[in-house]
Amino acid sequence: MPAVAARGKGRRTMSQINMVPFIDVMLVLLIIFMVTATLIVPGQIELPGVGQAARQPERFIHIVIDAQGQIELRDSAAAGPAQAVTLEQLPARVLALQAAAPAAAQGAAAAADAAPTPAAAQGAAAAADAAPTPAAAPVLISADRSVRYEAVITAMDALQRAGVARIGLAVQEATP
């Protein structure tokens, strides 16, 4: 029943909202949310541990992304300075370096097994083609600590789209 106020001649209803029950409900909800928020465990990402391979590869292709985002390409087998490349050139250059290593290894093996007759040379060439090629040189990406994660992922994506296999990330062991 609405509250009635007697003023003057007639009776009229008071149209006011009582805020006390509203505030009580809001305080109870606030307390419930505060208590349950402390019980919620934030999502944790479990990163894989850094292990060591049983044996490091003899040859690998090293991609270095410096603090300014510049990309350099190095071949561990070749002595010389790093080659500055763009992101667009990177996949083609890496594939060329990976293709150069097995060809050089097969060429050296073919030269060592040189046959004196043309028929024997053709047989040796057919055997070399039938033999499995050595695995492509792995690609190792090193990025400066201040480089955006996006730059590293973009480089990895470009390499994977081009069909480059065995891509890895270089890490530094944490000191205790």
Over residues 153-165, the pLDDT tens digits come to 999 999 999 998 8
- Measure the CA–CA gap between 149 and 93, rounded to whole angstroms: 22
Tokens encoding 155: 């480089």
Q: Which of 98, 94, 88 minimizes the C-alpha distance to 154?
A: 88
Q: What percent of the chain has pLDDT over 70?
A: 63
Distances, alpha carbon 101 to alpha carbons 129, 131, 135, 139, in Å:
15, 15, 9, 13
* pTM of full prediction above 0.75: no
The answer to whether residues 163 and 154 touch, using CB atoms and an 8 Å cutoff, is no
Q: ∠ CA(66), CA(67), CA(70), 5° rounding?
A: 45
User: Residue 9 — very low, low, confident or very high, per pLDDT cuts 50/70/90?
Assistant: low
- Measure the CA–CA gap between 164 and 119, rounded to whole angstroms: 36
The mean of the pLDDT values for the chain is 74
The answer to whether residues 153 and 108 touch, using CB atoms and an 8 Å cutoff, is no
Q: How many CB atoms lie within 10 A of CB 61?
A: 26
The answer to whether residues 92 and 104 touch, using CB atoms and an 8 Å cutoff, is no
